[in-house]
Amino acid sequence: MKKLIALILLLPILQGCFSSTPNSRFYLLENALEPQVVSKRKISIAVQDIIIPQYLEKPQIILQRPNSPELEISEFNRWASDLNYMLQNLLIGNLQNAMPNATIKPLAFGATTNVVVKVNLEKFGGWFNENAYVKGNWQVIDTYGKILTQNNFNLKQPSGPNFATYVKALSAMWNEVAVEIAKSISKL
């Protein structure tokens, strides 16, 4: 009887040894495939850390239907890097593509720069076979903190049927934001 009870108690443990969990998939936001040059101006630009909503500060990719409070956190589809870091680096890369003669770097204490770019993301999400969306605002400020130009953005794009197409849509819209910022800086 003791052996039977021990076997019954060990059964869930043994079952866990033979079950498998799905493999995680990791995704990166991508630079624009066909960069758009908007200015040949020589200027030094610093990009501040991107401000993102706290619920996005996770390695998991989060889906949210437009106009819905419900979030779906995908345990097995994750960002390959910190989202804030990826957004900042992608913005720098896309700005560099749009302004090839500019010097563009992350904001660092004591660095000499002509202008600083600040971006506040309010929404960065979407749902499969619906739309992905990117919403927020950006500012370009001088070294004294004076706002030189600013704008809101509210973009949406079809997201496709899976995480790969969803991430591509987010990447494309983030590139649009960079091109808009580059155009505004080129007019300063």
> 50 with 88: CB under 8 angstroms?
yes
Q: What is the pLDDT of residue 40?
A: 92
Greater confidence, 166 or 14?
166
Q: Which two tokens stand for residue 188?
A: 């300063």
Tens digits of per-residue pLDDT, 37-59?
Answer: 999 999 999 999 999 999 999 99
Which residues lie across from 61 on neighbouring strands? 74
Q: What is the pLDDT of residue 4?
A: 54
Q: What is the pLDDT of residue 22?
A: 75
Q: What is the pLDDT of residue 111?
A: 78
3-state secondary structure of 45: strand
What is the average pLDDT value for the chain, to the nearest integer?
A: 89
Work out the pLDDT band at 9, boundaries 50, 70, 90. low
Domains of the chain in start order, with CATH, are 39-186 (3.40.50.10610)
Tens digits of per-residue pLDDT, 63-77?
Answer: 998 788 889 999 999
